[in-house]
Structure 1
Amino acid sequence: MAGPLAQEIENRLREAFAPSDLAVINDSARHHGHAGDDGSGESHFTVVIESAAFAGKTRLDRQRMVNEALGDIPGQRVHALAIRAIAPGDAS
């Protein structure tokens, strides 16, 4: 079951992008005891999102869009966030 922060990330991304595919992966256990591990179990995430909103956008623009949609989460409430944002039909 997703923790409260993972659920908030998913909710914000669904609302902002109406994705055709979305995975919010909690990587925190792999970073236990490392820098940025706050003991919450929700400090490191990977987001894989596919949305038509990313069509025609550069990789950097897509990451900026995701970070903007997440507001205060990246860098303040989450130590690390890896983002893979694609448009439908993009090569894998």
Structure 2
Amino acid sequence: MPGPMTTRIENKLREALNPSFLEIIDDSAKHAGHAAMKGLPKGETHFRVTAVSSAFEGKRPVQRHQFVYQILDAELKEGLHALSLTTNTPEEYKA
């Protein structure tokens, strides 16, 4: 069962992007002992996100990532530490 941060990320991305495909993987356990994690809330902090959406059409990869960061601004301020993003348009995803 997904945790609360995973659920928030999914809900926000589904609402903002209306994706044809969305995958969110919590990689937090792989980073639990890292020095950079000291002082951060325990739990959901590192995610891999793959999103396919027509909202990315006409945007360069950096613009797509900035758009996702903007959508998840509150989560980034509340303990979300790292996002690995794969952002594609439906045409790119088919190829």
TM-score, length basis structure 2: 0.87
Alignment correspondent of 1:48: 50
| Identity among equivalent pairs (%) | 41
Q: What residue is the counterpart of 2:19 in the other structure? A: 19
Structure 1 residue 49, shift from structure 2 partner:
0.4
Does the 8 Å CA contact 2:41/2:79 hold for their aligned counterparts? no
SS of the counterpart of 2:84?
strand
CA RMSD, Structure 1 to Structure 2 (Å): 1.7
Distance 1:9 1:61, change over 3 A: same
Q: Does the 8 Å CA contact 1:47/1:82 hold for their aligned counterparts? A: yes
More helix, by proportion? 2
Structure 2 unaligned segments of length 5 or more: list them. none
- The alpha-carbon deviation at position 62 of structure 1 amounts to 0.2
Residue matched to 1:10? 10
Which whole-Å CA distance do the structure 1 matches of 2:5 and 2:76 have between them?
Answer: 11
Show the counterpart of 2:29: 29
**Any stretches of 5+ residues in structure 1 without a counterpart?**
none
Determine the structure 2 residue equivalent to 1:90: 92
The answer to which of 12-21 and 71-80 deviates more is 71-80
Alignment length (residue pairs): 92
